[in-house]
Amino acid sequence: MLANRLVVIMGAIGIEKTKLSIDVAKVIGDEVLNVDKMQAYAGFDIATNKVSFLSRCGIPHHLLVVIPFTVDDFPISLFLSLATMAVNCIVRRGRMPIVVGGSNSLIHGLLVDYFDSSLVKPFVIADYCMSLSFQSCIIWIHPNEVILNEYLNCHVIEIGLVEEVKEYFDAHNNYVGGHWSSKGNRRIRAR
């Protein structure tokens, strides 16, 4: 891999990680690499909180909408191959990748010299010491849970999530795999 430095922005859902990555990219002239597994799938733009083309402010984004919604799985091995290619392309252009998202397994897989898939939540293991492939500036945003939940409860209704889910159910009869592998969508499907 060509890169030797990364900026990583990670944290809980709905805390504006992508907005921060765009602001950072505007200042230091870099490109954004999505590491949110569900944003890699096509469709469900509101439910997965995909950044719109206009909101990207001209900053190139990579690994957004690269998997059809019908694909059952997005294995870490495939992500690592795609991410490695994207990182190398970004670096060849003389830019630094800004890695942003909430899929910690994907972030971990990208950052470490050796990826151990048996580690389910490596970032919360006490005394876990990673051997990093990159010099990394890791920004992990911890929100106040009460405030975040209040914001999300109001925000998803305002932006049309209910309508998006209804349209999706109306348009598709096959509710397995892809987006349906996420916990929230399994709960919706069960109702």
**pTM recorded for the entire structure:** 0.75
List the domain boundaries for the chain: 5-146
Per DSSP, the three-state class of 10 is: strand
Mean per-residue pLDDT of the chain: 79
Q: With 60 as the cut, is the pLDDT of residue 181 above it?
A: no
Per-residue pLDDT band for 183 (boundaries 50, 70, 90) equals very low
Per-residue pLDDT band for 4 (boundaries 50, 70, 90) equals confident
Q: What CATH number belongs to 5-146?
A: 3.40.50.300
Q: Which residue has the tokens 């439910």?
A: 47
Q: What is the DSSP string of 12-29?
A: STTS-HHHHHHHHHHHHT
53: Cβ contacts below 8 Å, ≥ 6 apart: none
Per DSSP, the three-state class of 52 is: coil
Please give the DSSP secondary-structure letter assigned to residue 51.
P
Q: With 50 as the cut, is the pLDDT of residue 187 above it?
A: no
pLDDT in tens, 123-170: 777 777 778 888 888 888 887 888 777 777 766 666 677 777 777 666
Q: Rounded to the nearest 5 degrees, what angle is found at the Cα of 20, between the Cα atoms of 49 and 136? A: 110
Q: Rounded to the nearest 5 degrees, what angle is found at the Cα of 50, between the Cα atoms of 39 and 82? A: 35
Per DSSP, the three-state class of 137 is: strand
